[in-house]
Amino acid sequence: MKIKINNLTIVTSSGLFRKNLLIDGGIIKKISDKPIQAKGVDFLIDNENLMVFPGFLDMHVHLREPGFEYKEDIESGQRAALKGGFTAIACMANTNPVNDNSAVTHYIKCKSKETRIPVDVYPIAAITVGLKGEKIVEMGDLKEAGAVGFSDDGNPVENSDILRRAMEYSKCFNMPIICHSEEKKLSKDGQINEGILSLKLGLKGIPKEAEVIGIYRDLMLAKLTKAKVHIAHVSTKDSVELIRKAKKEGINISCETCPHYFILTEEEVLGYNTFAKVNPPLRTEEDVMAIREGLKDGTIDVIVSDHAPHHIDEKDREFELAPFGMIGLQTMVPLSLELVRLGILDFQALAEKLSRKPHQILGLRPPAIKEGEEANLTIIDPHYEWVLEKDKIMSKSYNTPFLGKPMKGKAIYTIKGGEVFEIES
């Protein structure tokens, strides 16, 4: 397929450029300031409002398959990712059976290819067997089967000696340990951020210190082992400060946050809104500002969705009984663009956090917009206005506090495998 792109803004690490592209057979053949003459063009994109990014990767997604297909499955998750503008996602191991062996990893890889949806799926395997925190998985077998990292996400590895040995073991394979950093004895039975609001609502709070203590432990183990460690879903001011200091000390760590931690505050749970019940919980305005500053100065490397679908029957119940989590694949782009509108990030930094950095952390070759490179592209309209309505959600679940909310910015096309996929026209 021959694809011609006219007069679009290309976002690269060195800046923004108004360019024309010619893609043939899945390869970027030409990038030019001048109009490109080409015969036999199969698809033309000509819209000066659009911006071309290297293909986006969401490195923290829960696909629920195998075992919880009533919430989500691999195909529906891929469709949601495509609709959100992603050309790749990485999925967490808390399935049933747990992705703690090569058979489950192989199943996920094969199933994701069978769908023929142009979204690569990279499995993140468990750190410990059954997510129980007791026995380390066979990392070599899992890497060979296609795993790109290890995480007991949702279950911190509480035994520090086991986590230390897992970090040391992971170094043999140059693969990241992704830590869900939480001191469970502090957060046990907690529902929302601990503070005045939790008292007002009569809900048990989760103190910020539960996250901060967990992160401190994981940072010290990263320093001890010199392993490649990634901290998941950072949500507090003190966490950002700890990680900033650790990076200055040269500890080999990276970290991520989610749009709900830089857009929403704990006030979103007023009215006992279970769609806003997440772990870590939504925090205060002070924490939101600190997360934004961490994104701005590079302390926070990556933006992820932590896409966590749940059936409506699970969410539509008493707050204490509802599970943690919200979907986020289709809202990642507009919510992340809000950081650009606020002057917190520029478009180059956005490309870093949605494409180059997550690829690098997972040991994957980042896509690049260069002649001779494979065309792996996300094309967005930063000004496209729309409303997140239930019938537009590709996921099997719709548990998001952004339902019915106006959005600005959207992926319009992705280009992958030599084909164009039109998301919105």
Angle in degrees, 0-180, between the axes of helices 208-225 and 237-248, rounded to the nearest 10:
10
Q: List the pLDDT tens digit at each of the 425 positions of the chain.
A: 999 999 999 998 778 999 999 999 999 999 999 999 999 999 999 999 999 999 999 999 999 999 999 999 999 999 999 999 999 999 999 999 999 999 999 999 999 999 999 999 999 999 999 999 999 999 999 999 999 999 999 999 999 999 999 999 999 999 999 999 999 999 999 999 999 999 999 999 999 999 999 999 999 999 999 999 999 999 999 999 999 999 999 999 999 999 999 999 999 999 999 999 999 999 999 999 999 999 999 999 999 999 999 999 999 999 999 999 999 999 999 999 999 999 999 999 999 999 999 999 999 999 999 999 999 999 999 999 999 999 999 999 999 999 999 999 999 999 999 999 999 75
**pLDDT value, residue 38:** 92
CATH topology for the 2-52+371-394+404-422 domain: Urease, subunit C; domain 1 (2.30.40)
CATH of domain 54-361: 3.20.20.140
* Coil, helix or strand at residue 263: helix
**pLDDT value, residue 346:** 97
First-to-last C-alpha distance (Å) of the chain: 19
Phi first, then psi, for residue 92 (nearest 5°) are -80, 165
Are the beta carbons of 114 and 121 closer than 8 angstroms? no
* Cα separation values, 51 from 22, 32, 206, Å: 15, 15, 40
**Separation of alpha carbons 133 and 131, rounded Å:** 6
Structure tokens at 415: 């280009």
List where CATH 2.30.40.10 sits in the chain.
2-52+371-394+404-422
**Separation of alpha carbons 304 and 232, rounded Å:** 9
**Separation of alpha carbons 217 and 253, rounded Å:** 13
List where CATH 3.20.20.140 sits in the chain.
54-361
Angle in degrees, 0-180, between the axes of helices 285-296 and 237-248, rounded to the nearest 10:
30
Closest listed residue to residue 98, CA positions, set 120, 127, 131: 131
Are the beta carbons of 366 and 359 closer than 8 angstroms? yes
**pLDDT value, residue 425:** 53
**pLDDT value, residue 400:** 99
Phi first, then psi, for residue 308 (nearest 5°) are -130, 85
Length of the chain equals: 425
Are the beta carbons of 98 and 125 closer than 8 angstroms? no
Beta bridge mates, 53: 378
**pLDDT value, residue 424:** 74
**pLDDT value, residue 187:** 98
Active-site amino acid positions = 306
Instruction: Tell me which H or E stretch contains 419.
Output: strand 419-422
| R_g of the chain computed on alpha carbons | 21
Closest listed residue to residue 52, CA positions, set 85, 97, 92: 85
